[in-house]
Structure 1
Amino acid sequence: MTHTPRVSIVMSTYNGEKFIRQQLNSLIAQHYSNWCLSIRDDGSSDATLAIIAEYQKRDARIRLMQDSHGNMGPARSFMHLLAQVESPIFMCCDQDDVWLPHKVGEAVARIGDDTATPRLFFTDLIVTDGDLGTIAKSFMAFQKFDPLRAKSFKGLLLQNIVVGCTMAGNSALLALLRQAQTHNRHEMLMHDWWFALLASAFGTIEYSSTPSILYRQHGGNSLGAPGSNLSRYITMLWNSKPWKRASVYICKVAAQSSSFRRAYGNSLTQTNLAAIDKVTALGSARSCLPLVRTFSAGIAMNGWLRNAALLLSVCVHPAAWNAPLLPSPVSTEDNA
């Protein structure tokens, strides 16, 4: 490979002593070696910091960022790290996964050397248990996700399918993020979702079905992969809690869409503005009609089961929707 740009990898850690060694070892074992890892600890009380210090001595490419912000939550912690990236390509890394040896090199090849067009690349994942035993060979199949929906702005407004720990982006994509004022990102649910929206609206998104990481599922995950099957959704629909969760979810997605519009509305196409407005309107919905209109416009979640569950939660349990759902800015930690 003649194209060997520096790759900035960012990692936010929190009480990761159990698995972080395996992840750091997998980074050191990458076939592509021109990378640096910036770690920000989000207030660990275990041996995470001691382990990081040990690896800093072993590999000069690993460094720990120091600040006084304390616990910020995963989204804000990653955003703080990304604000300091200067390399032409960036990647986000979780503390408890294992990267396969080809991951960084493939990302560099797919992103290329185009610095003018915002570019995002993501891959499938192998879902594992805490001991790295395989649960599913394909995260996308396990979740019944269609990765091609990521190429459509409308396909990303209600649900994100770009998993941040597989994602790589270029400096043009990062520059778009930095254009938005901080107050326009308060309602960001997760950094990977925001990047996916940016790339689909203003640049390109490329996907590989070849998994690039072992995606570990365990009791301490901030966000996980529960799977998608009929029995799970039937159980949820007959439980009282999902109605409340659905209303909160719609509220947060509507707030995120409103925030994205404030930040980039002057540059969005009329088609994308109309799509955003439909999603934002869901935040003050009192009936299922706005959601039906949103689905009719091609703005939906992945798979009929998810859409049916969301629609039923609105139509069958109106008590959860009898008050305005667009509150003051939503904390990203609530979604972590």
Structure 2
Amino acid sequence: MATPSDPTQPTISVALCTYNGEAYLETQLGSILKQSRLPTELVVCDDDSTDQTRAILEKFAAKAPFPVQIIRNATRLGFNKNFEKALSLCNGELIFICDQDDWWLPEKIETLANYLIQHPKVDLVFSNAVIADTSLNNTGRLFWDAVRFTEPIRERWRRGEAVEVLLDGNRVMGCTSALRRRLLTSFLPIPNLPNYIYDGWMGLVTAAKGTIDFYEKPLVWYRTHEKQQVGTRPPEAGKPVRFKDRFSRPHQEKLDPLIRKHQELKDLYTLVTQRIAARTPGIEQFERRLAHYARRSTMPDGRFSRIGSVVRELVAGNYHRYADQEANQYAPFLAALGDLVE
């Protein structure tokens, strides 16, 4: 596909992944047809559907006013690798990620394309979304509320702490995102990470590069239903430790979750820095968090010998920085106390 000389008219691909999506696919495809700015192409990777998904796609392709490329996987790839394949096959300078069961507002492509045109240093932009029920009725909730991307957290992001925010939990949903094709080399192939799907990985890498931003308004109606592969799920709450148990439980029992946390961060940091050679502010945020958990996960047995490390972390503000955003004002001090006495 030829690259246009006019930077205000970039070519646009939509990357759609499907798997047994016959129930809702036509609605999603219809919303693409009604866009105020149509894509240059639609690339579909079907993950070996066994229902009428392929027939729906072929019917759409025959009438669409833009080229539609349909690839059917002979062997099922799974969610992450199917999106990886779809993204890699896109030719457009800008790529819009599409799920099979949502509905796009008519201005979605035009709005995010214009945003990227006006912000040439941004590689990835994502919007909010309306959470809808199975019948695509508004539930009255927004996606950012579900993932706790609140105004105070967005303000931290604006101050340059995007990596910090995303390490606390993913806020980037693929179906709300638009990205530049040049970004693909930074996050593809998608690694096998236990707590990440493709959009969380994509968002974190781009945040580490310092080239990610968000758009405040919802541009997608995000349908929730029982058969979807990924949805909005509340985080599982860990079992709270009673105050009196902090003085009696074994020291290693205290350290084990911190050791696991540190190892997860270390593995993630290794993968991210393999993709990003430069030492960016985002990488520095990553290293600061990694150092904090390294210190906490290696506290010595003797309580007296822990005092210096705990005080330094407390004075540096790290117990506050890495406390859960909904924790009360005493939580950082309780974490420090736990490190000191357990």
TM range (shorter): 0.7 to 0.9
**Cα gap change, 1:46/1:159 in structure 2, threshold over 3 Å: closer, same or farther?**
same
CA contact (8 A) 1:40 1:64 kept: yes
- Give the unaligned 5+ runs of structure 1: 239-243, 316-336
1:114-193 correspondence to structure 2 within 5 Å = 117-146=121-150, 148=154, 149-150=156-157, 152=161, 153-177=163-187, 182=189, 185-187=191-193, 189-193=196-200
Structure 2 SS opposite 1:210: strand
| Aligned mates of 1:37, 1:85 — CA distance in 2 | 8
Of structures 1 and 2, the one scoring higher in RCO (CA 8 A, sep 6+) is: 1
Please name the residue that 2:69 is paired with: 63
Q: State, as a whole percentage, how many aligned pairs show the same letter.
A: 22
Q: Which deviates the most, 163-172 or 248-257?
A: 248-257
| Aligned mates of 2:221, 2:55 — CA distance in 1 | 24
Shift of 1:195: 2.3
1:209 aligns with 2:216: yes
Please name the residue that 2:248 is paired with: none
**Structure 2 counterpart of 1:268, from 279, 283, 291:** 279
1:289-308 correspondence to structure 2 within 5 Å = 296=319, 298-299=321-322, 302-304=325-327
Shift of 1:111: 0.5
TM-score (norm 2): 0.71
- CA deviation profile, 1:34-53 (whole Å, cap 9, x unmatched): 33211111122211111111
- CA deviation profile, 1:108-154 (whole Å, cap 9, x unmatched): 11001666x35211111100110112223422124332362555222
| Aligned mates of 1:44, 1:219 — CA distance in 2 | 17
| Aligned mates of 1:58, 1:285 — CA distance in 2 | 60
- Give the unaligned 5+ runs of structure 2: 1-5, 241-255, 300-305
CA contact (8 A) 1:159 1:302 kept: no
| Aligned mates of 1:300, 1:89 — CA distance in 2 | 37
The total of aligned residue pairs comes to: 295
Please name the residue that 2:20 is paired with: 15
**Cα gap change, 1:33/1:119 in structure 2, threshold over 3 Å: closer, same or farther?**
same
1:1-336 correspondence to structure 2 within 5 Å = 3-59=8-64, 60-68=66-74, 70-112=75-117, 117-146=121-150, 148=154, 149-150=156-157, 152=161, 153-177=163-187, 182=189, 185-187=191-193, 189-226=196-233, 233=237, 237=239, 254-264=266-276, 266-269=277-280, 272-273=283-284, 275-276=286-287, 278-279=289-290, 296=319, 298-299=321-322, 302-304=325-327
Q: Which amino acid aligns with 2:191?
A: R
CA contact (8 A) 1:201 1:268 kept: no
CA contact (8 A) 1:118 1:173 kept: no
Structure 1 SS opposite 2:207: helix
CA contact (8 A) 1:120 1:199 kept: yes
CA contact (8 A) 1:254 1:282 kept: no
| Aligned mates of 1:222, 1:302 — CA distance in 2 | 27
**Cα gap change, 1:130/1:283 in structure 2, threshold over 3 Å: closer, same or farther?**
farther
Shift of 1:30: 0.6
TM-score (norm 1): 0.72
**Cα gap change, 1:67/1:5 in structure 2, threshold over 3 Å: closer, same or farther?**
same
Shift of 1:253: 5.6
Q: Which amino acid aligns with 2:231?
A: G
CA contact (8 A) 1:124 1:209 kept: yes
Q: Which deviates the most, 280-289 or 6-15?
A: 280-289
